[in-house]
Amino acid sequence: MIVASFTSLILPGIESAGFLPVGVGIALGVLLIYVVDRLLPHEHLVRGYEGPKGMKERLRKVWLLIFAMIIHNLPEGLAVGTSIVYDLKVGLVTAIAIGIQDFPEGTVVSLPLAVIQKRSLGPILLGVLSGVAEMVMVVLGAVFFTAFSGILPYGLGLAGGAMLYVTIKEMIPEIYGEEKNQTLVTLGFFAGFYVMLLLDSSL
């Protein structure tokens, strides 16, 4: 996600419109996900519960985990939608890269849900639900920035900033949180890094 934020969103936006609109978009993206992160109750496997304290007891743990996954997926969907409007090839690369990382991410959430619920079909369907939320953002982002193409550089920055926020604040602490073999985690990170660079340079 870090590489995609730069190669598919931030750098193309700067090349097409300069730093200012993209910089403003990045700040708006960070602010947007920060607000969603604070207002939407959700729970991480390692970091635990986040969001309004009063909602923790009102929602089942299953839905708190799903909301956390949706928060991760919304910026990804927006990234694909805006990058498709910018350039179809760039959008395809972004979609492939995000799709690759969605498989292990979905598994990491669906397996604990299967343990909590003691069944398998429900967690799979809930994982699909979070994927649908991502697809909705792809469509909304593409439609919106097709209609308002003049502010596309802001949209590229916004999607890039949102993905950076999610990666730095949520995903990196999660993957290192309980993993004793940090070397393996780091190697996995750089493997994904190289895959995204390869996709971006070859397609």
pTM: 0.79
* pLDDT at residue 21, rounded to an integer: 95
pLDDT in tens, 170-190: 777 777 766 567 888 788 888
pLDDT in tens, 67-86: 777 777 888 899 999 999 99
CA-CA distance, 104 to 118, in Å (whole number)? 20
Closest CA to 47 of 37, 60, 57: 37
- pLDDT: which is higher, 54 or 143: 143
Backbone angles phi, psi at 136, to 5 degrees: -60, -40
| 23 alpha carbon, distance to own chain's centre | 19
> Cβ(153)–Cβ(22) under 8 Å?
yes
Say whether pLDDT at 45 is over 60.
no
Please measure the distance between the N-terminal and C-terminal CA atoms of the chain and give it in whole angstroms.
Answer: 18
